[in-house]
């Protein structure tokens, strides 16, 4: 990992917790002074510099942007339904890609259960992604541009306050790092952007759900988080002047982060696996650290 200096930044120990974990399946021996759960809930990134995801020799041919649909850029796998989407190739290729992604899901799940056993019974599995395309150089609208600092919120998939926990692994075969920026603490971000959101409309949320524009009911929390996400990305001055650390995650490294709380931007890199999990706020060790509870304190009302 390489961390470089920016104009405004926190000490790296405030944003990153490095763990010398080398196996996806336990037991874990770490050098952490506290628990992994506490570090994550505080808004830190858990970084594993020696934890890589090994591809079989026959799978290395999939390290090409051509395995993903040009419209989607990423390949996705749903472990709940065993469904593969946006992959391109022969029937045999698609079966092999599905098996590769299912294996990554199993590894990520084992890692989270090993390090965060308090979450195991409540954790919900989301999408597995393989991102074979280069991030840098894409022409996207500000809302869709993940090279701009943001916290995760999804227009069509409201979480209702559930935490968004993600595991990432760089599998780049050419020595290229995954370049990230990590921004200010969530409460600072929320105090800048929360009051810019338009008033929440319960009637509009119901209509969006009825029309199929959202897969679940968009709560006042989801509305506020989505507006923070969009407004952050659209604010050029904030993107330039905000407190931020620049970090490069090298090949054969893994990291875990609550992307709904940690302000982040992916600036460059190619060939990444990512696994999303969801966790109810009630399953947290300290629910007062959840974005839901922080926003409720800021706006002075309940949001779900």
Q: What are phi and psi of 117, to 5 degrees?
A: -60, -25
Q: Could you say which DSSP state residue 197 is in? A: S
What is the C-alpha to C-alpha distance for residues 168 and 249, in angstroms, rounded to an integer?
Answer: 10
Model-level pTM?
A: 0.95
**How would you write the pLDDT of the chain (304 residues) with one tens digit per residue?**
766 545 568 899 899 999 999 999 877 666 665 789 999 999 999 999 999 999 999 999 999 999 999 888 899 999 999 999 999 999 999 999 999 999 999 999 999 999 999 999 999 999 999 999 999 887 788 888 999 999 999 999 999 999 999 999 999 999 999 999 999 999 999 999 999 999 999 999 999 999 999 999 999 999 999 999 999 999 999 999 999 999 999 999 999 999 999 999 999 999 999 999 999 999 999 999 999 999 999 999 999 9
What is the C-alpha to C-alpha distance for residues 75 and 196, in angstroms, rounded to an integer?
Answer: 34
Q: Are 226 and 155 in contact (CB under 8 A)?
A: yes
Nearest to 253, CA basis, from 183, 176, 182: 176
Q: Are 102 and 127 in contact (CB under 8 A)?
A: no
Residue range 2-299, CATH number: 2.60.120
Domain boundaries, the chain: 2-299
């Amino acid at each position: 990992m390489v961390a470089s200096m920016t104009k405004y930044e926190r000490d790296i120990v405030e944003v990153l917790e490095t763990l010398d974990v080398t196996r996806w399946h336990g037991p874990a021996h770490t050098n952490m002074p506290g628990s992994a759960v506490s570090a994550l809930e505080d808004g830190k990134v858990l970084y594993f510099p020696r934890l890589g995801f090994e591809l079989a020799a026959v799978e290395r041919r999939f390290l090409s942007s051509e395995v993903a649909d040009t419209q989607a850029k990423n390949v996705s796998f749903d472990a709940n339904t065993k469904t593969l989407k946006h992959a391109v190739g022969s029937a045999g290729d698609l079966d092999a890609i599905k098996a590769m992604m299912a294996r990554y899901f199993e590894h990520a799940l084992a890692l989270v259960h090993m390090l965060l056993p308090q979450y195991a019974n409540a954790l919900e599995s989301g999408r597995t992604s393989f991102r074979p395309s280069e991030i840098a150089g894409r022409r996207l609208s500000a809302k869709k541009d993940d090279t701009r600092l943001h916290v995760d919120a999804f227009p069509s998939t409201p979480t209702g306050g559930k935490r968004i926990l993600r595991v990432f692994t760089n599998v780049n075969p050419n020595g290229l790092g995954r370049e990230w920026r990590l921004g200010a603490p969530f409460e600072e971000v929320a105090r800048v952007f929360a009051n810019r959101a338009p008033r929440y409309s319960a009637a509009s949320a119901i209509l969006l759900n009825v029309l199929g524009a959202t897969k679940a009911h968009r709560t006042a929390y989801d509305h506020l988080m989505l507006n923070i996400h969009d407004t952050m990305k659209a604010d050029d001055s904030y993107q330039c002047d905000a407190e931020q650390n620049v970090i490069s995650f090298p090949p054969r490294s893994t990291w875990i982060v609550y992307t709904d709380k940690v302000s982040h931007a992916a600036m460059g890199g190619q060939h990444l696996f990512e696994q999303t999990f969801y966790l109810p706020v009630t399953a947290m060790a300290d629910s007062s650290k959840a974005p839901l509870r922080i926003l409720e304190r800021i706006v002075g009302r309940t949001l779900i």
